[in-house]
Structure 1
Amino acid sequence: MKKPVILLLIWMGLLTRSYSQMVIYVAPDGNDAAAGTAARPLQTLEAALRKVATAKSPEVTIRLRAGRYALGQPVIITPDLLNGHRLEIAAAPNEPVVLSGAAPLRPDWKPWKGPILQASLAKGLTIDQLYANGLPLPMARYPNATPDARVFNGTAADAISPRRVRTWANPAGGYVHALHQGEWGDFHYRITGKSGDSLHLEGGWQNNRPAPMHREHRFVENIFEELDAPGEWFYNADTGTLYCYPPTGMDLNTARFERSVSDGLIRITGTQKAPAEHVTLTGLTFTGTNRTFMLTREPLLRSDWTIYRGGAVLTEGARHCVIRNCTFQYLGGHAVFVSRFNRAITIEHNHIHHIGGNAVAFVGSPDAVRSPAFRYEDKVPVADMDKTPGPKTDNYPAQCTAHDNLIHHIGTIEKQVAGVEISMAMAITVSHNTIYQVPRAGINIGDGCWGGHDIAFNDVFDTVLETGDHGAFNSWGRDRFWLPGISDVNALVEQYPTLPLADVIKPITLRNNRFHCEHGWDIDLDDGSSNYHISNNLCLNGGLKLREGFNRTVTNNILVNNTFHPHVWYAKSEDIFEHNIVTTGYAPIRVPVWGKRVDHNFFIAPGALEQAQARHTDPNSMQGNPQFMDDAAGDFRVKPGSKALAAGFRNFPMDAFGVVSPALRKLAARPAITGIQLLAAGKAGATTVWLGATIKNLETLGEQSASGAPDQQGVLLVSVSPNSLAARSGLEPGDVIRQINGQAVAGVAEMLSLLQTVMWQGHVKATMLHNQQMKEVEIRLK
């Protein structure tokens, strides 16, 4: 008797489930007049969405069959459209589904000049990105794109020189792209015309620290006369003519061409009072959007950033929405943008690559900030300041998550971007993401408003590749208390001691991450960054910097081949730095008072502990070989009996960084591991690769005699790879580096230790023996 009852209950459960969920089918070969069933699918996503509001089931799934869906404008999902329903838009199982912001083109190619072909299109089109077989092609540009160039795929100091401008008949509609003078991001300008050999430009608002363009790192594009390299194209809107220099190996007549027409693809929008809720996007590929660099102009408080609120997917006024198992690729702008009021937005298991802007951004509204200011030099007078702690409104993202996302090759056109950007938000979790090949920070927190973030188990490397003076993890904290002058802040905090934490009301946690920065610091807490707990992080190259701020506790981190960089500290910072392993001696700049406690650390470099104690820090710290398990292979746990354990250091996992999904782990790259160079360099005859050169200690009588050195002090260049940074700096085999920035170097270990303190500057002066003669050169570090 029990068996029939159980079967009846199962049948009723299945029946209930079938009635509780409605599935609407869409296929590229469907018909919007059809019923939307598996047998009779609709053709467009827009038609499927029109059926959601009247669905009888509380849960609706729009199932997209394999194919490419061109969205001429963003699909907007609102509370009225949802009408109380839970909605999932999903690819059918194991079927590739592409949502594209690009419209098809069908050019009929004919010869023009040499290898360049032409085709007649409609006049007056807007073509920002031209895609061939799904990949964007470069506009006609100078200099031509080269994949090994460090910045913008190639730059030239004469990009807009009068001599070159004179060769352009009508450059209107072209663009000038440049780094910031200090390499603090980028600028972009639209060319509106010219007078003689001078351009008329509009733009330059993409950076919140105004400055001239970088003298060298600049290029121009969309200039007809520069159409001279494979893959380049130019569209003349007046005549409707599209010109293309065929990419190597591509037959234009069989290639599939598209032009980007939309800035975004899906917008989930509501309000705080009537939010759009319970929308899930699953298994979709997003591609083909316009570049949006000319729209990047809203300042994010007093950070160095401006922003454009848009992306392939935008959520604003939303709750309990999920973006999972999606791919974002070959986009002109941002991938996912979480703007203003949002709660419980989850972005997980996605692959984001080759996009023009940010991968994931959580950005609140300045109307939630008490007494906001919007430029570095701006300030709110104390008498006029709202001193109430915390946010003024709820118009910001909170309790949101970016988890298990593979992010790489972002910022292909915009350089003030990040794998994850956080500004004016609270309690954001950023965990188990792998982020690499980025022009600036991997993870950036733009201000202290309002803290509570948990940054954990991320693998962030190959960062700050195209800019400088930044971090793999970077933050600013130019909050209400912050002023450019140290003495001014000291006086203000003396009067209002709780003001530094009035915006960052909850601690920000950095834990169990692996960081590697190319041209800056692995962890860079810049102006004002306060209320941080930093522990169990493996910093592989750039060390850790704490600039002016309050209440930072840094414990149990490993700083490989680098050190602790305290810069410009306040009188009552209350900072703590303890139980860390550092390779070389501290590199302080303007630190009159060393915080609350700097002690119980472990130094590797000989003499580093003595230097620290001479500054009256680290009375209980220790020095020696930490006995890592296998530092050359990336295992920086210490062996039992290591003296580092006696200093209070505790091992933490070395195999838990980055993405966890098997599919993403298979795709993810890994950071380069060099081990402790100082220990390796101390071995007789040992060589090290540096800036593309093989170097070693000058240590034999024969080496001394051949170089003309007076003693066996210095660094010998054994070989120099062509086109390497060493070669471009004029270094040659047989040279012996004797001094860096006027400081003598006894060997490789000393030189590398010294260089790590100045890597962020991008260059150093070296005194070396060249052909047995002393010579001074400037060595480029990037």
Structure 2
Amino acid sequence: MSKWIWFLLFSGALNVRAQTRLYVSPTGNDSSPGTLAQPMATVGKALEKVKTASQQTVQILLRKGTYYLPETVPISPATVGNKTLTISSYATEKVTWSGGRKLRLRWQKSEHGVWTSHVDGPPFEQLFLNGKKLVLARYPNFDAQARVFNGTAADALSEARIGRWQNPAGGYIHALHQGEWGDFHYRITGKSGGQLQLDGGWQNNRPAPLHPKERFVENIREELDAPGEWFYDRSTQLLYLLPPAGFNPATATIEVSRLKSLLELKGSPDKPLQQVTVRGIRFVQAERTFMEPYEPLLRSDWMMYRGAAVFLENTETCRIEDCEFTALGGNAVMLSRYNRKSAVEGCHFHDIGASAISFVGDSSAVRSPVFQYEKFVPYGQMDLKPGPKNGQYPTECVAANNLIYRIGQLEKQSAGVQIAMASGILVRHNSIYQVPRAGINIGDGTWGGHVLEFNDVFDTVLETGDHGSFNSWGRDRFWHPNRRTMDSLVAVHPELIRLDAQKTTVIRNNRFRCDHGWDIDLDDGSSNYHIYNNVLLNGGLKFREGFYRTAENNILINNSFHPHVWFANSGDVFRKNIVMRPYAPIGITEWGKDVDSNLFLDQTALQMAQKAGTDAHSAFGDPAFVQPERGNYRVNAGSPALKIGFVNFPMDQFGVQKPSLRVLARTPSLPTLLNSQFEASVQELTWLGASIRTVRGLGDRSAFGLPDEKGVIVVSIPKGSPLEAAGLKTGDVIRTANQEETPNVGRLIAIQQPVNWTGQLGVTVIRNQQTISLTLPLK
């Protein structure tokens, strides 16, 4: 491990003797000297004393309680001088920094059970009752079980519903991208002739119409109709609340959001901020930011607001550690532009509006940057120098030992860890789950060198589509939206390929599970990756058009390898992996440098690969996992996997290791192995809402007019089911799926597994002794 990583991970052991201690308490006084007995009241006052402190090392120690910040706390080189500064909770006391304010209200009960009160001060978009976030008036009503946005409706913008709204100005429309590639948000500015006037729609870098079904509206007075909803009329400054059960206006604590950012660590390009540590603080109640100005992150699908509850820019060796981030309206932590050897470690992120941790450089550091998918800098106009143009990007920074879940609650183009226009980022031992899109996302190839290791990432792509637990794009200088143009360009100028993706990005010793996409998704142009020693629990591995990618010694449970539209001379390698389904190629005429020495589950899958010209030295057979029911996918000594060169690796080091967070962290549900034993044991089950069973003997063959005793009988389909709408009927016998025979229920499930990402499954059925082809929806 390099010296800078050891420094970051163990800097807490630095000498803490001969230091100045300044104490702050919510019950203190800024006229006090800042001792333990006589603390100050605000962090701002304590910061004024740092630069002139008598010792080189300064600690600001916060006593327990909630600090309602009057403004964002700025820390700069002018604040700290050449001192080493730590801001932390005192001992084990619980310290909260709030970006909100507490309201003192005079409630009045009005009609239909609604309570009202006048509220002075700035408007707000998050309201908390006794610490619990309430729901801004919306349609459809909040549903904790709904897959997208906690409830959506196709008629959210119907003429009839809009007609009910007397003055919807200030309301919002939220919707998924039509392709489910993120989201869009609009502010309603007025209504004229029954039509809404809107501002917004800049939150996704792939312009498209709104999704026709996945949409909802909020902040409209007429939609205040469910307990726990509220509405604030900015023109009258009246707060309306339809309280939940047990509401007591005499004792209720009401807090609202106000600040978009709570803490900013900012230096300048000429003088970075150095050696500031923030430890043991709970950051809450930052305002929502989805209507703030966004910027595109090159040609990835992302647009992004460059801001966060804790924001670092132009820093060196700064640390955010052992903190909690929750009830935030936007991003939690962002390391923006120049950052060197700074870290986010041991933190707890949950219930956040957008991303948890973001490392995002500036486009000025990118040579010949392009920002829209369909744009391209012609070769004759391209800057052909390799690497970054300047130093305005994060490098040698760390996200380690963090627990991240329930993020992206409003902004769906978000991630547990986001990396864009950066280099050499270490992402290790994080547990990331319950996210709407990727757990970890790399937006481009600039400039590689990242290491992702020992992470546990699952329950991902829960509200969007066409993505993975890990996702990347690589639409760098060589990449062109027209494939023929790109093919000819890289054939003549192969040196373009590594101008941006200079260093190899390593993905190793992780556990990924995606039930709504791929476990690892290397999308458009992603290049220069080494992927090894990973357990992929469900979604498999995808390589789409890119170069110089090696995947070896990985375990792909119940799924396989998905190569999509590869280049000639791609240099891609897939070897010594365990796969449990046939490869799923799309548009493949070239198979890279080396696809061989892999273990398939059965001979048919191996023969299919060899027929395509790969895997001459591969084998098939039961991998003989040690304890798959407990997540131990090491193989036994007699496993055929060992004969093709597979090497066992540890199965007990995934995810967050910090004891206080590990006890809170979930782990992924472990899949049932879809092997021959499964196929033999499962004879009937509920599938996509329908009841199905395996054909049983001569009686079924005769009753359904079958040529043999193979197939899956559709026993019943719920009325109105998507399967019914697709043409499937009770009594149909499914004979093939995805052009493979389905002799039993188990094989049907196994065939479906690798193609879940497509959202549909082609089948043939026998109905009245006739063969019929259907396309069934998988969502």
TM bucket, shorter chain: over 0.9
1:83 aligned onto 2:96:
no
Counting matched residue pairs gives 766
SS of the aligned residue for 1:114 comes to: helix
Instruction: Work out whether residues 360 and 421 of structure 2, in 8 Å CA contact, stay in contact via their aligned partners in 1.
Output: yes
Hey, what's the Cα distance between the residues in 2 that align with 1:53 and 1:331?
A: 31
Please state how far the C-alpha of 1:711 moved relative to its aligned partner.
Answer: 4.5
Q: How does 1:274-353 map to 2 (within 5 A)?
A: 274-295=271-292, 297-353=294-350
Distance in 2 of aligned mates of 1:514 and 1:521: 13
For the 8 Å contact 1:189–1:201, the answer to whether it is kept is yes
Are 2:110 and 1:112 aligned? yes
| Secondary structure, counterpart of 2:245 in structure 1 | coil
Note the alpha carbon deviations across 1:247-273, whole angstroms, 9 max, x for none: 234434422111111001100001232
Distance 1:674 1:383, change over 3 A: same
- Which residue of the other structure, out of 264, 267, 271, is the alignment partner of 1:270? 267
- SS of 1:177's partner is strand
Q: How is 1:136-535 mapped onto 2 (pairs within 5 angstroms)?
A: 136-295=133-292, 297-535=294-532
Given that residues 633 and 675 in structure 1 are in contact (C-alpha distance below 8 angstroms), is that contact kept between their aligned partners in structure 2?
Answer: no
What residue identity is the alignment partner of 2:59?
T
8 Å contact 1:431–1:457 — kept in the other structure?
A: yes
8 Å CA contact 1:468, 1:761 repeated in 2:
no
Q: Could you say if the C-alpha distance between residues 772 and 612 of structure 1 is closer, same or farther in structure 2, counting changes exceeding 3 Å?
A: closer
What do residues 294-351 of structure 1 show as CA deviations (whole Å, max 9, x unaligned)? 1252000010001111111100000101111110011001111000000011111111
CA-to-aligned-CA distance 1:413-471 (integer Å, 9 cap, x gap): 00000000000111000001000000000000000000110000100000000000001
For residue 741 of structure 1, report the CA deviation from its aligned partner: 5.8
- Match of 2:291, SS state, is helix
Residues 375 and 481 in structure 2, CA contact (< 8 A), matched pair in contact too? no
Q: What code does the residue aligned with 2:124 have?
A: I
Give secondary structure in 2 for the equivalent of 1:594: coil
Paired residue secondary structure (1:380): coil
Q: Which runs of 5+ in 1 are unaligned?
A: 1-15
Contact 1:605 1:678 (C-alpha < 8 Å) held by counterparts: no
What's the counterpart of residue 556 of structure 1?
Answer: 553
Query: How far is the alpha carbon of 1:120 from its aligned partner?
Result: 2.0
Partner of 2:31: 33
The aligned counterpart of 2:649 is: 652
Partner AA of 2:613 in structure 1: H
How far off is 1:553 after superposition? 0.6
- Matched with 2:596 is 599
User: SS of the residue aligned with 2:283?
Assistant: strand
Distance 1:591 1:95, change over 3 A: same
State whether residues 556 and 581 of structure 1, in contact with CA within 8 Å, keep that contact through their aligned partners in structure 2: yes
For residue 712 of structure 1, the aligned residue among 709, 713, 721 is 709
> Pairwise mapping of residues 538-557 of structure 1 onto structure 2 (< 5 A)?
538-557=535-554
Moved more, 532-541 or 742-751: 742-751
User: With structure 2 as the length reference, what TM-score do the two structures score?
Assistant: 0.94
* Segment of structure 1 superposing worse, 682-691 or 28-37: 682-691
Contact kept? 1:157, 1:217, Cα under 8 Å: yes
Q: 1:639 to 1:173 in 2, by over 3 A?
A: same
Aligned-residue offset at 1:485: 2.5
- 2:683 touches 2:744 (CA, 8 Å); kept in 1? no
- Structure 2 CA distance for partners of 1:245 and 1:466, relative to 1, 3 Å: same
8 Å CA contact 1:720–1:726 kept in 2: the answer is yes
2:342 alignment partner, SS class? strand
Matched AA of 1:104: K
User: What does residue 672 of structure 2 align with?
Assistant: 675
Contact 2:723 2:777 in 1 (8 A): yes
Structure 1 contact 626–638 (Cα < 8 Å) conserved: yes
Q: Say whether residues 1:698 and 2:729 are aligned partners.
A: no
- Secondary structure, counterpart of 2:351 in structure 1: strand
Q: Quickly say closer, same or farther: Cα 1:17–1:673, change in 2 above 3 A.
A: closer
The Cα of 1:748 is off from its aligned counterpart by 2.7
Q: Does the aligned pair in 2 maintain the 1:764–1:778 contact within 8 Å? A: yes
Deviation at 1:742, TM superposition (A): 6.8
In the aligned structure 1, how far is the partner of 2:566 from the partner of 2:157? 42
Query: 3-state DSSP class of the match of 1:355?
Result: coil
Q: Is the 8 A contact 2:680 2:746 kept in 1?
A: no
After superposition, the C-alpha distances for 1:172-194 in whole angstroms (9 at most, x for unaligned) are 00000000000000000000011
Tell me the secondary structure at the aligned position of residue 462 of structure 1: coil
Quickly say closer, same or farther: Cα 1:289–1:504, change in 2 above 3 A.
same
Residue in structure 2 matching 1:70, options 68, 71, 75: 68
Change (3 A) 1:522 1:491: same
Please give the per-residue CA displacement for 1:545-571, whole angstroms capped at 9, x wherever unaligned: 000000001101111111100001111
- SS of aligned partner of 1:347: strand
Aligned to 1:9: none
Aligned equivalents of 1:728, 1:559: Cα separation in 2: 33
1:575 aligns with 2:567: no
Q: Which runs of no fewer than 5 residues in structure 2 stay unpaired? A: 1-13
Q: Take 1:758 and 1:253, find their aligned partners in 2: how far apart are those partners? A: 56
Deviation at 1:356, TM superposition (A): 0.3
Evaluate the alpha carbon distance shift between residue 732 and residue 662 of structure 1 in structure 2; reply closer, same or farther with a 3 A threshold: farther
**Does the CA-based 8 Å contact 1:125-1:240 persist in structure 2?**
no
One-letter amino acid of the structure 1 residue matched with residue 97 of structure 2: L
* Contact 1:144-1:229 at 8 Å conserved across structures: yes
- State the 1:758 CA deviation: 2.5
Q: Deviations over 1:518-556 (max 9, x none)?
A: 211110000110000000111111100000000001101
1:622 aligned residue = 619
| Aligned-pair identity (%) | 52
Residue 711 of structure 2 aligns to which amino acid in structure 1? G
TM-score by structure 1 length? 0.93
* Structure-1 residue corresponding to 2:90: 92
Task: State whether residues 178 and 213 of structure 1, in contact with CA within 8 Å, keep that contact through their aligned partners in structure 2.
Answer: yes
Report the secondary structure of 2:661's partner residue.
helix
- Please state how far the C-alpha of 1:708 moved relative to its aligned partner: 7.2
Kept after mapping to 1: 8 A contact 2:16/2:57: no
Instruction: State the partner residue of 1:746.
Output: 743
**How far is the alpha carbon of 1:501 from its aligned partner?**
0.6
2:640 to 638, 643, 648: 643
Query: Residue 610 of structure 1 is aligned with which of 590, 600, 607?
Result: 607
Residues 46/394 of structure 1: CA separation in 2 closer, same or farther (3 Å cut): same
User: Following TM superposition, by how much is the alpha carbon of 1:162 offset from its aligned partner in structure 2, in angstroms?
Assistant: 1.3
Distance 1:179 1:265 in 2: 29
The 8 Å contact of residues 681 and 696 in structure 1, kept in 2 or not, is answered as: no
8 Å contact from structure 2 (residues 682, 745) kept in 1 = no
How far the C-alpha of 1:716 sits from its partner, in A, is 4.6
Instruction: Mark the CA change 1:120 to 1:607 in structure 2 (over 3 Å): closer, same or farther.
Output: same
Cα distance in 2, alignment partners of residues 697 and 640 from structure 1: 35
Structure 1 distance, partners of 2:700, 2:60, is 73
Q: Equivalents in 2 of 1:250, 1:710: separation in Å?
A: 67
User: Is the contact between residue 296 and residue 306 of structure 1 (CA under 8 Å) also seen in structure 2?
Assistant: no
Q: Confirm or deny: 8 A CA contact 2:427 2:451 kept in the other structure.
A: yes
Shift of 1:737: 3.9
